[in-house]
Amino acid sequence: MSRVIRAAVFQTAWTGDRESMIQVHEQAARDAAAQGAQVLCFQELFYGPYFCQVQDPAFYAYAERIPDGPVVRRFQALARELGIVLVLPMYEEEQPGVLYNTAAVIDADGSYLGKYRKTHIPQVKGFWEKFYFRPGNSGWPVFDTAAGRIGVYICYDRHFPEGWRALGLAGAEIVFNPSATSRGLSGYLWQLEQPAAAVANEYFVGAINRVGVEEYGDNDFYGTSYFVDPEARFAGEPASDKETELVVRDLDLAKLREVRDRWQFYRDRAPGAYGPLTAP
């Protein structure tokens, strides 16, 4: 029996300041709700630039408390008003000097469900993330929302199959992968890794990437956000590679059961043989 969830992701360009960036995302939430979307995920570090192109302590100011900071509070009220589940990837300050790359998950009634902290932190040219973030310590939470069981796996995390699998084992039906990734670097991976993760773990993936070139570096963020199903089929077309776009798609979660009845990956996996994977 079909169980259709109308899910959305939003990609946009840096507006130049935090407040207008927040407003653009509030409007996107209203636009998604107008279409009847039940869940919406924003891009990585959604209300800021992708400041990790440089290493500058001034950007620590973008970090906020989760859930007690103003941005989460503001979007909790909006989620309640619109009746939509929101996934908010943002810069988190646990306490001064303890900072994470995090996504907060808000349920459709505005209640705060929890957060995922990005586990794998890159440190390469244009992506100086270790300067800004501690590696996440949240484990692999899956959130039981009004729009289904949702996991989050942030940007660079996606290159590591272990986390995808952990989210699948925890019962995720849709995993969002908010990102900031650059054309020259990862173009050839973008439509390969997440569909492969969707197939391997037999769930839906929503991939989000910001668009445009920002004033802090040469990274050309190429958008092309999309949803992909457990058979690696894209739900509709990927979004523009240059423009702001809201992607709203109907996902039939019955597909999970259908595919898992066909391929018993969870039954046939052999955790007893995977010891070497967790050896330090």
Partner 1 sequence: MTTWEPPAPALSVRQVLALERVLAGEPEVVAGAGRLDRPVRWVHVAEAPDVGVMLSGGEMVLTTGVLLTGDEDKQTEYVRSLHRAEASAVVLGLGRAFPAPPEAMRRAAERCDLPLVVLHRPFPFAQLTEEVQSRLVRRKFAAVSLSEAVRTELTALITTGAPLQRLLDEVARHSGCPVVVANVAHRVLGTAGERPAVDDVLRDWERVARQAGAGEGDGWIRAELGGRGERWGSIVLCGYRGDTATGRLLADRAAEALVLHRMLGGTAPTWEEQSAQGLLTDLVSGTVPAGHLLPRARAAGLPVNRRTFVPLVVRGGDAARLDRVLRLLGLPGIAAELAGTATAVLLSLARDQDADALAAHFAARLRAEPGAAPVVVAAAGARTSFDEVPAGLREARHVADAVADSAAALGLPPVVRLRDVHLRGLVRLLRDDPQVQSFAERELDGLLGEPDEDLLSVLRTYLATGRNKSRTAQLHHVSRPALYRRLEAIQARLGVDLDDFEQAASVHIALLAHDAQQR
Q: Please identify every residue annotated as catalytic.
A: 44, 118, 155
Whose structure tokens read 């992909």?
228
- What is the rounded distance in angstroms from the CA atom of residue 256 to the CA atom of residue 254? 5
- What is the rounded distance in angstroms from the CA atom of residue 142 to the CA atom of residue 144? 7
Site string for partner 1, 170-189 (x = CB under 8 A): -------------xx--x--
Determine which helix (DSSP H) or strand (DSSP E) holds 272, and give its type and residue range: none
Examine residue 243 and tell whether it contacts partner 1 (CB under 8 A).
yes
Examine residue 16 and tell whether it contacts partner 1 (CB under 8 A).
no
Examine residue 32 and tell whether it contacts partner 1 (CB under 8 A).
yes
Examine residue 73 and tell whether it contacts partner 1 (CB under 8 A).
no
Q: How many CB atoms lie within 10 A of CB 12?
A: 22
* CA separation, residue 102 to residues 30, 151, 157, 168, 192 (Å): 23, 12, 12, 19, 24
Applying CB under 8 A, among 236, 258, 271, 274 the residue interacting with partner 1 is 236
Applying CB under 8 A, among 51, 91, 238, 256 the residue interacting with partner 1 is 238
Determine which helix (DSSP H) or strand (DSSP E) holds 115, and give its type and residue range: strand 112-117
Q: Which one, of 130, 133, 128, 129, lies nearest residue 116 by Cα?
A: 133
Q: Which amino acid is at 136?
A: G
Whose structure tokens read 């469900």?
113
Q: Which amino acid is at 207?
A: A
Applying CB under 8 A, among 131, 240, 252, 260 the residue interacting with partner 1 is 240
Applying CB under 8 A, among 114, 244, 252, 265 the residue interacting with partner 1 is 244
Examine residue 6 and tell whether it contacts partner 1 (CB under 8 A).
yes
Can you say whether the dihedral through the CA atoms of 123, 127, 129, 132 is positive or negative?
positive
Reading the block at residue 34, the tokens are: 């107008």
The torsion angles phi and psi of 265, rounded to 5 degrees, stand at: -65, -35
Examine residue 108 and tell whether it contacts partner 1 (CB under 8 A).
no
Residue 26 or 250 with smaller CB distance to partner 1: 250
Write out the binding residues for partner 1, residues 248-267 only, by CB under 8 A: 248, 250
Examine residue 92 and tell whether it contacts partner 1 (CB under 8 A).
no
Give the binding range for partner 1 (CB under 8 A) out of 61-69, 133-141, 161-169, 230-238. 230-238
Minimum CB separation of residue 99 from partner 1 in Å reads 32
Q: Contact residues for partner 1 (CB under 8 A)?
A: 6, 8, 31-32, 34-37, 183-184, 187, 234, 236-240, 243-248, 250
